[in-house]
Amino acid sequence: MSKKIFQQLFAFVFLAFISVQAYTKDSKMVDNQATAETKALFRNLEKLSKKHTLFGHQHATEYGHGWSDEAGRSDVKSVCGSHPGVIGVDLSGLSGRSPESIKKNKEDLKNTVVDTYNRGGVTTVAWHFSNPVSEGGFYWKDGVSKPAVKYLIPGGEAHEKYKEILKTIAGWAHSLKGTDGTLAPVIFRPYHEFDGGWFWWGEPYCSKDEFVSLWQFTVSYLRDSLDVHNFIYTFSPDNKFTSEAEFLDRYPGDEWVDMVGMDNYGDMGRDRYDIETAAQKLKIVSDYATKSGKLAAFTETGLESIPDTTWWTKTLLKTMRMHDMKLCYVLVWRNDKTSPTHYYAPFPGQVSVPDFMKFYHDPYTLFENDLKNIYDKKKQ
């Protein structure tokens, strides 16, 4: 190789290295006072996502297809021998109910999270937040629901009420002590699918500035005023975007978000099978996470009743592996305990079990039994 060619090659490699360095931002959490275990979870999820994705299931250990409240059980474990790596829970029971009901929900939810933490699993927390200023629940109901976001933000007439609700959540967060005496970290995912119109916090019912104000106040009040330091904050719209600019339309800023994600049922078989589009949207999420120092996840998906016998490998796994992406986890929705058709994970005898076992055994997917000290900064 001539000296000139060598110099040109060196210059090319150097410039490529500089370009990558400029593109990739060092990861930094929203909370610089986060507990050691929360920081370790963040870093270990980041490391694992380079080669793997954790599988998650909403309400997996609380109830399942035809059962509820059975210690140590999940439909996923009944099929493959392991709980999901990520267990989804919900804060819906911590407001808008009687004090007795809220107290019971706090205790039950605490036990679920602590049990998961003690086993070495990961918890993600959704919030189907009942409208605090009107009837109608968490869905938007024409003629009933009020556009609550503007009432909850600083200066709004229900702002003090919102602070009291956040105090309840903070009290619950402070109660999540494992057997080792440390607080269980959770991936907190408030105000999800905000780009749709089905929830009262959706795009048609608040301005961009109002939504950003609500997000920023929620994070700052929990972190700075209520000393919650075991949350990883996750931003997850639905699947309406087709570009990074659209994905970030209501983004509150890098200093307010730890993880970015997407909920997508529509492209994954519910409305259509368009896994190329689904994969491209996931790549937008993953690419933004990489360049901004965030984690990325496929925060919700699934196919109700799973009638497609190869959905796990030919749709879900294929979508996540179509591009070079770093996804911490993928979560499918719940298995209702009474409905014969409302379920998103297999149970013994369900038609997709053989394909799910291929999904389970694929080296890319991780379940709870695969996790080794994910809360230890020295591991993974």
Burial of 98 (0-12, 13-18, 19+ CB in 10 A): exposed
How far does CA 154 lie from the centroid of its chain? 26
Q: Using only the alpha carbons of the chain, give its radius of gyration.
A: 21
Sign of CA dihedral 152, 257, 54, 313: positive
Distance, in Å, from the CA atom of 145 to the CA atom of 181, rounded to the nearest integer, reads: 42
CA angle 220, 225, 226 (to 5 degrees): 105
The whole-number pLDDT of residue 37 equals: 98
Low-confidence ranges of the chain (pLDDT < 70): 1-25, 378-380
C-beta neighbour count of 284 within 10 angstroms:
22
The whole-number pLDDT of residue 19 equals: 37
The whole-number pLDDT of residue 149 equals: 98
CA distances from 110 to 31, 174, 222, 301 (A): 22, 10, 18, 25
CATH architecture for the domain at 36-370 = Alpha-Beta Barrel (3.20)
Structure tokens at 169: 């959540």
The whole-number pLDDT of residue 210 equals: 98
The whole-number pLDDT of residue 225 equals: 98
pTM value? 0.92
How far does CA 355 lie from the centroid of its chain? 24
C-beta neighbour count of 130 within 10 angstroms:
19
Contact (Cβ atoms closer than 8 angstroms) between residue 65 and residue 304: no
Main-chain phi, psi angles of 59, to 5 degrees: 55, 30
Distance, in Å, from the CA atom of 321 to the CA atom of 171, rounded to the nearest integer, reads: 40
Q: Model confidence over 325-339: pLDDT tens digits?
A: 999 999 999 999 999
Q: Model confidence over 102-153: pLDDT tens digits?
A: 999 999 999 999 999 999 999 999 999 999 999 999 999 999 999 999 999 9
The whole-number pLDDT of residue 21 equals: 37
